[in-house]
């Protein structure tokens, strides 16, 4: 198992988590970054001990432990996932033990020195209905993973692939999260090249078919969709909300909901204020229609913040 771990293979053991305990005999350490789900919280640089292979899955697993979910909520999640027969005790163990899942954002290549970048997230983030981490999801978008939504606190780390298939953690710092950082500007191209090598049929299909589906997405308490000359934004509100309980302000690059809750969306591009309006949808929804200044497709709803696409 140590041989596999040293080559980046995750091993699941009965005690839970991936990779087993970190092996830290070298005394060396590396830097990785935490992006809190709360947009008002700053990024954090953290230090971890080296182990054989990727140390972060086993290091981060305990950080994702816990979660207050009822049996009914667990069953509902299992049904939504198409596995209604899953034992509730199995799902609860997954939540309580804490497990880290890795998502590769940039592949290792000869050109980039055999370095890859991963996002690490709570494996049960969907089960726990954690809020979307907009800043982390924007990084995935910038790497070419359109529509990817990370939930909860997300950690970012870098791996270097050595001769013989060995991997080791190396430093990943806050400046590496800038959209103009070298690894991110190369990620889309290198990920496509990797897909062409490992999944040629999927790659050919993706390149041959034009993107026909309108851009859409969701955030904290809202969903949105590009509808050509207009955008539709649906705010989630209490089901008892009536029209007199709602107050919305439209500006050229901003939408503000003042009642029944306070929320501001800083828009990706400008809209025609006079062409914007809102109406009540089904119970628990307020529907906004935003007229674009031009009909150019929007790939995202929110503008860049701190150098990241939101």
Q: pLDDT tens digits, residue range 39-79?
A: 899 999 999 998 888 999 999 999 988 766 777 777 776 67
Cα angle 62, 146, 282 (rounded to 5 degrees) comes to: 90
195 and 232 part of one domain: no
Domain that holds residue 157: 2-207
Q: Identify whether 303 is part of a domain.
A: no
Cα 240 vs. chain centroid, distance in angstroms? Answer: 31
Q: Is the peptide bond before 249 cis (omega within 30 degrees of 0)?
A: no
Each residue of 76-113: pLDDT tens digit? Answer: 766 766 667 778 787 777 777 788 999 999 999 888 88
- What parts of the chain have a pLDDT lower than 70? 1-26, 67-68, 77-78, 80-83, 199, 202-214, 304-310
Tokens coding 54: 């990727």
165 and 275 part of one domain: no
pLDDT for res 17: 35
65 and 117 part of one domain: yes
For residues 89 and 154, what is the distance between their CA atoms, to the nearest angstrom?
26
12 and 39 part of one domain: yes
**Domain end: 163, 178, 207, which one?**
207
For residues 81 and 175, what is the distance between their CA atoms, to the nearest angstrom?
37
Q: How many domains does the chain have?
A: 2
**Domain end: 207, 225, 245, which one?**
207
pLDDT for res 250: 96
Q: Identify whether 52 is part of a domain.
A: yes
Instruction: Give SS3 for 94.
Output: helix
Q: Identify whether 301 is part of a domain.
A: no
pLDDT for res 73: 73
Q: Identify whether 306 is part of a domain.
A: no
Tokens coding 17: 């988590």
Full-model pTM: 0.58
pLDDT for res 85: 76
pLDDT for res 275: 94
């Amino acid at each position: 198992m140590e041989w596999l771990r040293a080559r980046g293979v995750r091993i699941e053991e009965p005690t839970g988590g991936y990779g087993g305990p970190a092996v830290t005999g070298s005394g060396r350490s590396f830097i990785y970054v935490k992006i809190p789900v709360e947009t008002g919280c700053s990024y954090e640089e953290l230090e971890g001990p080296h182990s054989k292979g990727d140390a972060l899955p086993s290091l981060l697993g305990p950080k994702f432990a816990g979660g207050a979910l009822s049996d009914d909520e667990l069953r509902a999640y299992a049904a939504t996932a198409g596995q209604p027969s899953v034992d509730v005790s199995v799902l609860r163990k997954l939540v309580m033990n804490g497990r880290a899942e890795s998502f590769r954002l940039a592949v290792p290549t000869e050109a980039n020195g055999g370095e890859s970048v991963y996002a690490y997230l709570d494996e049960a983030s969907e089960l726990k209905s954690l809020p979307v981490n907009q800043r982390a999801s924007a990084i995935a978008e910038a790497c070419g993973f359109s529509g990817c939504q990370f939930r909860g606190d997300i950690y970012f780390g870098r791996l270097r692939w050595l001769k013989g298939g060995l991997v080791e953690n190396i430093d990943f710092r806050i400046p590496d999260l800038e959209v103009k950082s070298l690894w991110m500007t190369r990620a889309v191209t290198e990920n496509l090249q990797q897909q062409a090598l490992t999944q040629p049929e999927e790659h050919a299909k993706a390149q041959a078919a034009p993107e026909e589906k309108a851009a859409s997405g969701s955030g904290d308490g809202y969903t949105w969709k590009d509808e050509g000359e207009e955008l539709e934004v649906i705010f989630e509100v209490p089901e008892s909300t009536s029209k007199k309980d709602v107050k919305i302000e439209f500006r050229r690059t901003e939408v503000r909901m003042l009642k029944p809750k306070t929320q501001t969306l800083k828009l990706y591009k400008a809209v025609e204020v006079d062409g914007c309006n809102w109406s009540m949808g089904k119970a628990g929804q307020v529907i906004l229609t935003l007229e674009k200044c031009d009909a150019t497709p929007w790939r995202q709803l929110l503008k860049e913040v701190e150098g990241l696409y939101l």
